[in-house]
Chains A and B, each alone.
Chain A
Amino acid sequence: MILGKVIGNVVSTVKAKGYESKKILIVQPVDAGGNAKGKSFLAIDAVQAGVGDTVIIIEEGNSARDVIKEKESYTIKTVIAGIVDEVNLQ
């Protein structure tokens, strides 16, 4: 899992099987201090996250499907699995 910040959303009507009625957000990976690091990508939202939220992102198919829990979701790989309230650094 990685930390990321939601920076936008995507509207899409024509989708592949398994993606119907799923919210798609644009996420920017961040480091421990919350600074942008690396390239942005898209993720399916499973926790009602919104723009500005720091989130936990899973980029692995089997775990992602475990989160979505739908029969047709076998084409989904990237999901937002949690909203981060705070990060405590020692």
Chain B
Amino acid sequence: MRPRRAGEPSELDLMAMACLAPSLLYVLVMFVYPFLYGIYLSLRPLKVEGFSLANYFAFFSDEYQYKTVGITFRLAVPNTVVVVACSLFFAYNMRRGIWLERTVTTILVLPISLGVILLSQGILGFYGGKGWFNQMLLGLGLLEESLVLTHNFTGVMLSLFMQQFPFCFLMLLGYISGIDPSIENSARTLGANPWTVFRRVMLPLIAPGLAIAFALVFVMSFATFPSAILLGQPTGATRTIAIAAYAQAFEMYDMPYASAIAVIMGLFQLAGLLVIILLRRRIVMAATMGVGKR
């Protein structure tokens, strides 16, 4: 290639730009424009002329609205922790393959293919007041009366877990089984017991994958909508922020207020992601420093 003068674009750059254009256009049209339009809309309340933060003030001054944030966090955070912890446990212990691995994996992954509605229907039937789960426990004499597991907080948690566990498990299994086994073998020969291997060697190596898993599961849980309606109390205990936005948009026909709620939801998700990134750094640092610091 001939030498390039400063400021002059190279042929390679032009080629790269040309190849990038279609996907850039797609992102602009399908994501950036609607996103910015949503922000714009949220700043144009119906009752006020011109730009105003009135919708945001309205949300945070109305207890019925702002407590949806707390409800959503109380669903999303425990669910994320439980899903990722279970996935990590299973994926870590299955990293070198297990007996009947394919069958086990298929069973674990099946819920993903069913869709939320069918899954919720199944949970209602199985865990409901007259469902098999309660019937079985009553029949065995382990219970005096049926457990209430649906149309409340527990029901939504069950549904979220079943949707997100397979996805999270598969992601972590791929991540963990990709780590060279000789790394943990070498740690063993250097005197580390299995727990130390996990804590000092494997966990820092899994941390990036774990952070991605946390981020994705958290964002999905935070945006939960169908589960909260089908298996929860959409007007009470499980009125999540997504339901609040939906109600403003399609029950009150106040699109600007709904947009404001959606933007608020996005900001909280972003805050969650930031916390996850900071925690990830801590995991890696804690393990690398370890005992006997330099």
Query: Is B one of A's binding partners?
Result: no
